[in-house]
Chains A and B, each alone.
Chain A
């Protein structure tokens, strides 16, 4: 039972770290540019498809990973320059409408290029298999690798935002875009960069997840919903909030799915305990979100509007 519990804790951490890659880009774009980008999930899909296509073509997962980063960043930069740029001064509703159109364009475009059948992406050999600790604990290597890679990206992002000149500009842009433009910072280029950065993170998440899931058109939207839950919990615009929110959602979801059926089984018969437990587990993160919104309407780390 202890090793099962430990395994579930690691699973929660892994799922949280994965979510952070998605949510950080989303929250960055919203914080800096004030833009609601529904097409963030499409960039995640673009990353996964690029990784699978290049990996199949060259036989190397690593080239695929590089391709996913570059393709998603490029797609992000293009979309920002061609379309998103016109939306900054518009109403949120216009932004939602335009980026929703982008979802449709990306989905059908991807289908046009790759067809309707899911693609295959496999892990490099040394990431397959499991690590065995002691006699009873076993954990898949690829999930450990995702945890490590995700935490490394998170650390890099905090350094970038907190310690570099670019990070200062990004934070300044978040605080007062008129002022930093007046100080001579090329705001257009900064916005394109931030958008491409968010896109690259989403693409990277897509490539990681593609190794364990099905790479298919429409794969981005379910993750997008979770990412929105994360940034609402964490406070819109806050990277720290995105990290805490991601981990909270990851742990809540995993532990809920694991523990709730047991909890109900203590006073219900097994089959209705499973049914009620799993139904409640799938609602749990939304319940948490509602609670957070009730207690702190602007999220855990959000600034008061």
Chain B
């Protein structure tokens, strides 16, 4: 009799323990690991996996696949991850066009999607979804911050430049939303353009007092090198993308002194960030980038939710994510009503530390900034 009692007690104890212990969570990471722009995906993955490694939580399993920056590949991978791998959470997409191809259908199948970068306006406003969390920002944020900075720095006439595609147009709209001077020239370039001689000649001839440009990746490297060699000396302002750690080395000294806006920088003063920068360097032997910081925050947010709720109870799990109860490398971090961050945006300047080009915070552009689409989201 006593034996049976002990057994029941033990079984009960096991059951209790089972309930307290979170169920395993399987994460599918679809990101760009080959082709042009692979540096961004690699950084996001490395940041994410660093947090996973540090947490050492046996319940978290991550599957990583390469989308080659192609929407059709990303869609196939998402289908495979949802149907075969049976993942609970998807993450990792860098590019907005890929996100638009994958996210709406994934969240409709009741998978949670956590964005490490891409956050198109369509998913922030009317298209918002309870399963969609943007850990990075809303795409317009850094451009809005650049507009805010240009206004507060006393610039009056802007020459603005972006590639002719949706994110480029959003960028210039975002800048103008917070810039209160005159826009003297608005120029759209070809996506993937590598020679900016014609545009730089126009900048030289224009009477603008500064240049705002959004040219991500290789386009920005090309533009800045050519601009520095052109002898035009109008100050440049841009979002962090063209001045990020992964590409500063390729731009070289041409980037020195350029102001750029970001929601993260390696010198944001908080212990989490300091530990992140140090451990990232120790693990991968390079400085972390913006995308690495987003990957790191995304993994830590997910881990914080796993501590609080079980993935089988989707409502509780979503609530745990929404609470954002984790130490962000950005310091304070809260979600707005559309599950996009409310955060401070900084102005950074490119400086040289020893031989390494990097960014230093020189001021704050916008405080507790949300986004322009939150009001359209009904959730």
Interface residues of A (CB under 8 A from B): 1, 3-4, 7-8, 11, 14-15, 107-108, 111, 116-120, 122-123, 128-130, 138, 140-143, 209, 211-219, 222-223, 254, 257-258, 261, 270-271, 274-275, 278-279, 281-282
Q: How large is the interface on B (under 10, 10 to 19, 20 to 34, 35 or more residues)?
A: 35 or more
Those 9 A-B pairs whose CB atoms lie nearest each other, nearest first: A214-B221, A11-B197, A118-B250, A130-B231, A214-B218, A213-B222, A278-B188, A218-B36, A116-B38
Write the B182-200 contact mask toward A (1 if CB under 8 angstroms, else 0): 0000111110101101110
Contact of B194 among A1, A14, A213 (CB under 8 A): A213
Identify B250's interface contact among A119, A270, A275, CB under 8 A. Answer: A119
Contact A108 B249, CB 8 Å, known A140-B229, A213-B218: no
Pull 13 A–B residue pairs with CB atoms less than 8 Å apart, ordered by A.
A4-B204, A107-B34, A111-B38, A117-B246, A118-B247, A120-B249, A129-B229, A213-B218, A213-B226, A218-B36, A219-B218, A223-B194, A274-B187
**B71 at interface, CB cutoff 8 A:** no
Q: Which A residues are in CB contact (< 8 Å) with B217?
A: 214
Question: What's the least CB distance linking B242 to chain A, in Å?
Answer: 10
Given contacts A107-B35, A108-B34, contact A212 B204 (CB under 8 A): no
A214 and B197 form a contact (CB under 8 A):
no
* Pick from B194, B197, B229, B251: contact of A123, CB under 8 Å: B229
A282 touches B35 (CB 8 A): no
Instruction: Tell me the smallest distance from the CB of A6 to a CB of chain B, in Å.
Output: 9
Q: Is B205 a contact partner of A4 (Cβ separation < 8 A)?
A: yes
B225 interface residue (CB < 8 Å to A): yes
- The one of A3, A120, A122, A254 in contact with B197, judged by C-beta atoms closer than 8 angstroms, is A254
A208 to chain B, nearest CB (A): 11
Q: Contact mask B224-257 → A, CB, 8 Å, 1/0?
A: 0110011100000000000000110111110000
Which residues from chain A contact B250 at a C-beta distance below 8 Å?
A: 117-120, 214-216
A135–B187 CA distance with the chains assembled, in angstroms:
27
Asked if residues B229 and A270 are in contact (CB atoms below 8 Å), the reply is: no
Interface residues, chain B, CB within 8 Å of chain A?
33-36, 38-39, 42, 164, 186-190, 192, 194-195, 197-199, 201-202, 204-205, 217-219, 221-222, 225-226, 229-231, 246-247, 249-253
- Whether the Cβ atoms of B189 and A278 lie closer than 8 Å is yes
A129 to B254, CA, bound (A): 12
- Please, how many angstroms separate the alpha-carbon atoms of A258 and B203 in the complex? 11
Q: Is the CB of B39 within 8 A of A118?
A: yes
List the A side residues contacting B219 at CB < 8 Å.
214
> In the complex, which residues of chain B have a beta carbon less than 8 angstroms from the beta carbon of A111?
34, 38
- Within 8 Å CB of B230, what residues of A? 130, 140
| Bound: A116/B43 CA distance, A | 10
Contact of B202 among A4, A117, A216, A279 (CB under 8 A): A4
Contact B225 A212 (CB under 8 A): yes
B229 touches A213 (CB 8 A): no
Min CB–CB distance A230 → chain B (angstroms): 15
Chain B residues with CB under 8 A of A8: 197-198, 201
**CB of A281, distance to nearest CB on chain B (Å):** 8
Q: Is B195 within 8 A of A15, CB to CB?
A: yes
Quick one: closest B residue to A273, CB to CB? Answer: B186
Nearest CB in chain A: distance from B132 CB, A: 28
Interface pair A212/B226, CB less than 8 Å apart: yes
Whether the pair A143, B35 counts as a contact (CB closer than 8 A) is no
The answer to whether B247 and A274 have CB atoms under 8 Å apart is: no
| B251 neighbours in A (Cβ, 8 Å) | 120
Query: How far does the alpha carbon of A117 sit from the alpha carbon of B29 in the complex, in Å?
Result: 20
- In the complex, which residues of chain B have a beta carbon less than 8 angstroms from the beta carbon of A138? 204, 231
Residues on A with C-beta less than 8 A from B226 are: 140, 212-213
Residues A282 and B190 in contact, CB atoms below 8 Å apart: yes
Q: Which residues of A contact B204 (CB under 8 A)?
A: 4, 7, 138
Kindly list chain A residues whose C-beta atoms are within 8 Å of the C-beta of B225. 211-214
Residue among A14, A212, A254, A261 with the most chain B CB within 10 A?
A: A212
Chain B residues with CB under 8 Å of A219's CB are 36, 194, 218
Return chain A residues, CB-CB under 8 Å to B253. Answer: 122
Kindly identify which residue among B36, B189, B190, B222 contacts A217, using a CB–CB cutoff of 8 Å.
B36
Given B186, B199, B205, B249, which contacts A257 in the complex, CB threshold below 8 Å? Answer: B199
List 20 additional contacts besides A4-B201, A118-B246; criterion CB under 8 Å.
Answer: A107-B34, A116-B33, A117-B39, A118-B247, A118-B250, A120-B249, A120-B252, A130-B229, A140-B229, A212-B222, A213-B195, A214-B194, A214-B221, A214-B250, A218-B35, A219-B36, A219-B194, A219-B218, A279-B188, A282-B190
- Residues of chain A within 8 A (CB-CB) of B197 are 8, 11, 14-15, 143, 254
Give A128 to B189 CA distance when docked, in angstroms: 25
Minimal beta-carbon separation of B198 from chain A (angstroms): 5
Query: Which B residues touch A274, using CB under 8 A?
Result: 186-188
Once the chains are docked, how many angstroms separate the CA of A285 from the CA of B42? 35
Across the interface, which residues of A come within 8 angstroms of B246, CB to CB?
A: 117-118
B229 touches A11 (CB 8 A): no
The answer to whether B35 touches A128 (Cβ under 8 A) is no
In contact, B201 and A7 (Cβ under 8 angstroms): yes
Hey, which chain A residues are within 8 Å of B42, CB to CB?
Answer: 116
A222 and B192 in contact (CB under 8 A), knowing A4-B204, A118-B218, A213-B221?
yes
Q: Find chain A residues with CB under 8 A from B221 CB.
A: 118, 213-214
- In the bound complex, residues from chain B placing their C-beta under 8 Å from that of A261 are 187
